[in-house]
Structure 1
Amino acid sequence: MKVLIQRVTQAAVDVDSITIGQIDAGILALVGVEKQDNRETLGRMAQKLLKYRIFPDSEGKMNLSLTDTGGGLLVVSQFTLAADTRKGLRPSFSSSAPPDLARSLFDEFVAALRAQHPNVETGRFGADMKVRLINDGPVTFMLES
């Protein structure tokens, strides 16, 4: 599993020109599910995402997590994150989970996050989405299982 996280002052996702998820300050998480991912992977990644310290404390150091700040979390599926780009000029998606498995694991991932955090919004799996954000910093990290 690969999760690209961005600290944002706001973010939203639209499907068919309708906003289906939006947050104020918090994290936008783009999620790529890979073939080898499973429930154990999801649980570890959910914990890491919620506890990863990317928000400034009173001294301006990145010492606070999303759990600490209570900020919003917008979770968007993005299978292209699972691409292998090491060879050639076209990405390979051989390591991506098949769509049915990816959808199931993505839904379980979101459920695990919602069980631990009160403000979780999502995009729509498999839809053509338009994601809007204001990156704060910018602060962006790739979390990998």
Structure 2
Amino acid sequence: MRAVVQRVSQAQVHVAGQKIGECGPGLMILICAMQGDSPDQARAMAAKISKLRIFKDEAGKMNRSVLDIGGSALVVSQFTLAGDTSRGNRPGFSTAAPPDQGKALYEQFAADLAALGIPTQTGEFGADMAVSLVNDGPVTLWIDL
């Protein structure tokens, strides 16, 4: 699985002009299931992200996790994270999981994150979504598992 994790003060996702998910302070997570990924990788990614120490402690150091601060998460599917531009200017997405598997792993990841005690909302798999956020820091990480 591949994720882009952003520390945010707030984030929202809209579909057809309607807000369907939000979080604030916490994490905006763009997630992509790759060919060959399994539910075990979704669980491992959720566990890894839940423990990332990217929030400031009392001394201003990044030593606290989203769990430590009582934060929340907004999870949005993003198959374009699998984009390969090595052979030209039009990205190829052949390394992304097929849609049915991608959707199942996306839902599994969000459920696993919520099961770890992080209030989690999601976008809509396969929909044309408008995502807005206020990146705090900015802190943005790319994670491959």
The structural deviation recorded for 1:117 is 2.0
- 1:5 and 2:5 equivalent? yes
For the residue of structure 2 that corresponds to 1:137, the secondary structure is strand
Secondary structure (helix, strand or coil) at the match of 1:22 reads: strand
Q: CA RMSD in A?
A: 0.9
> What are the Cα deviations for residues 72-124 of structure 1, in whole angstroms up to 9, with x where unaligned?
10000000001122231111111000001101111111111111124101001
CA–CA distance in structure 2, aligned partners of residues 144 and 13 of structure 1? 23
Does the CA-based 8 Å contact 2:43-2:108 persist in structure 1? no
The answer to which of 114-123 and 129-138 deviates more is 114-123
Aligned residues: percent identity?
48
Q: TM-score, normalised by structure 2?
A: 0.97
2 CA distance for matches of 1:118 and 1:134?
A: 19
Alignment of 1:97-112 (within 5 A): 97-112=97-112
Partner of 1:27: 27
Provide structure 1 residue ranges, at least 5 long, that are not aligned to the other structure: none
In 2, Cα distance between equivalents of 1:59 and 1:86: 43
State the aligned residue count: 145
Corresponding residue of 2:91: 91
Residue 68 (structure 1) aligned with residue 68 (structure 2)? yes
2:59 corresponds to 1:59: yes
Q: Which amino acid aligns with 1:124?
A: E
Q: Structure 2 regions of 5+ residues with no counterpart?
A: none
The Cα shift of 1:44 comes to 0.8
SS in 1 for 2:107: helix
Greater displacement, 73-82 / 35-44: 35-44
Find runs of 4+ consecutive structure 1 residues off by over 3 angstroms. Answer: none
| Deviation string, structure 1 residues 41-92 (Cα, Å, up to 9, x no partner) | 1111010110011101111111101111110100000000011222311111
In the aligned structure 2, how far is the partner of 1:90 from the partner of 1:23?
Answer: 33
Task: Work out whether 1:114 is the aligned partner of 2:114.
Answer: yes
Q: What TM-score do you get using the length of structure 1 for normalisation?
A: 0.97
Distance 1:11 1:75 in 2: 10
Cα distance between partner residues in 2 of 1:56 and 1:75: 22
SS at match of 1:88: coil
One-letter identity of the residue aligned with 1:53: R
Instruction: Specify the code of the residue in structure 1 equivalent to 2:11.
Output: A
The corresponding residue for 2:138 is 138
